[in-house]
Structure 1
Amino acid sequence: MDPAKIQELEDRLGYSFKNRNESYRALTHSTFSKEEKERKIGARDCPYQSTYATLGDAILKAGLVSILIEKGVKTKGNVTISKADLENNLRLAKVGKRLHLLEDNYILHRVGKEEKLKEESVALCSDTVEALIGAIFIYSNSSMSVIKDCISKIFATKLEEMERKYLNEGHMGDLPGRP
């Protein structure tokens, strides 16, 4: 993959990987890895994203809860509802679309083309967003601060919308700068 293209993605994420192989694994779907391994000529082991996605799912939850609390969401119920809205697969797929993961061919996959790809696009994008978050967590030396910055950047629009909603409903806490 073109290093300039990866740099664009890193700019959108707000994080630069020191080693591009770290980002490639997060962008590699199991279908691509399986096909590479089964090639008759030039077969190779190609690590893929599933482990990063599992970690990313957990880290995303923790990061979102922390951000929501910092934004002043007061109750456990509101934190839970807001987090669930932000982390569902459709929302993550929208984040993937804003990051241009499929449109710019960042995700290495062999899911198929056109109709099949359209069917699988939500899972491909949501899994890849989680994998990127997992990889960023690992390669930032488990920095929750870095993760929260990335999450805040890639979810900025929805977080701002949510914050306005809770402010209007009077559900925000007594945080500095909060009415």
Structure 2
Amino acid sequence: MDSDIIRELEEHLNYSFQNRELLVQALTHTSFANEAHSGHLGSNERLEFLGDAVLELVSSEFFYREKTQLSEGELTKLRASFVCEPALAYCAEQIPLSPYLLLGRGEEMTGGRTRPSIVSDAMEAVVGALYLDGGPEIARGFIERFILNDIEGKRYFYDAKTILQEEIQRDKDAVLSYELLAETGPEHLKRFTVAALRDGVAIAEGTGSSKKEAEQRAAYAALLTLGIAESGGSSCT
């Protein structure tokens, strides 16, 4: 990978690697490693394994410290919202991380650069790389800056469907549903547009690379429309 490109990503990460090979490996998907005949040891899988553990520890300590009124079960649910695949993929957008991923030709052609599973795995791998290169505090700083920031705003986005369901159910006779409005793009790069409806009437719409993502974004847009979430809290839409 070109040194100027690495330096550009380092600026986004706000950290300069002593061992840049760690960063390159964190960006290397198995498809790229296989084409380069370097096998799983050349991909980001091992760094992802490490980063996942670091992320769980740091987020657990963070929420334990910051949310002193929550029970163990509530803390577990909150942590899960912030370290799940969709959440990490969204946080990666804020860097942005996706343009720097190293993908095999087939994965590139089939939309792998925007696939949440690939992007979220790379995000965890970057955490692992930062931990090995800079130590626990560097990794912690990255996690708190890019993943555990704007807790309340992100919570509305990550749990939008659940929160909207609870809000609609305040009226026992009301029914929340989702309707697919459009499906565009080639088979490997589909975009879905979904509407969130209350009693058959559209509240808001959302678009995503999967129906699930589109529903989540529609739910969040509905929370904004209903005044339950504030638009300044999160830029997820």
Report the TM-score, using the length of structure 1 for normalisation: 0.74
Q: Alpha carbons of 1:163 and 1:129: their partners in 2 closer, same or farther (altered >3 Å)?
A: closer
Using the TM superposition, give the Cα deviation of residue 59 of structure 1 relative to its aligned residue in structure 2, in angstroms. 0.9
Q: Alpha carbons of 1:3 and 1:160: their partners in 2 closer, same or farther (altered >3 Å)?
A: farther
Alignment equivalent of 1:80, drawn from 76, 81, 85:
76
User: Unpaired segments of 5 or more residues in structure 1?
Assistant: 38-43, 165-179
- Matching residue of 1:127: 121
- Matching residue of 1:155: 147
State the Cα deviation string for residues 13-41 of structure 1 (Å, max 9, x = none).
Answer: 3332112111001111111010011xxxx
Q: Alpha carbons of 1:10 and 1:70: their partners in 2 closer, same or farther (altered >3 Å)?
A: farther
Structure 1: distance between partners of 2:45 and 2:64: 29
* AA of the residue aligned to 1:82: L
State the Cα deviation string for residues 130-157 of structure 1 (Å, max 9, x = none).
Answer: 000011111224x2x2222111111254
State the Cα deviation string for residues 58-117 of structure 1 (Å, max 9, x = none).
Answer: 111111111112223432122111110000101111112222222x2x110114345x21
1:13/1:153 contact within 8 Å kept: no
2:26/2:125 contact within 8 Å kept: yes
* AA of the residue aligned to 1:135: A
Q: Alpha carbons of 1:14 and 1:68: their partners in 2 closer, same or farther (altered >3 Å)?
A: farther
Report the TM-score, using the length of structure 2 for normalisation: 0.57
Q: Percent identity?
A: 25
- Choose between structure 1 and 2: higher strand proportion: 2
- Matching residue of 1:5: 5
User: Unpaired segments of 5 or more residues in structure 2?
Assistant: 157-237
- Matching residue of 1:107: 101
Q: Does 1:137 align with 2:146?
A: no
2:59/2:148 contact within 8 Å kept: no
* AA of the residue aligned to 1:150: F
Q: Does 1:59 align with 2:54?
A: yes
RMSD between aligned residues: 2.5
Larger radius of gyration: 2
Query: Structure 1 stretches (4+) deviating beyond 3 angstroms?
Result: none
- Matching residue of 2:189: none
Give the number of aligned pairs: 153
1:26/1:132 contact within 8 Å kept: yes
2:33/2:42 contact within 8 Å kept: yes
Larger relative contact order (C-alpha < 8 A, sep ≥ 6)?
Answer: 1
3-state SS of 2:36 partner: helix
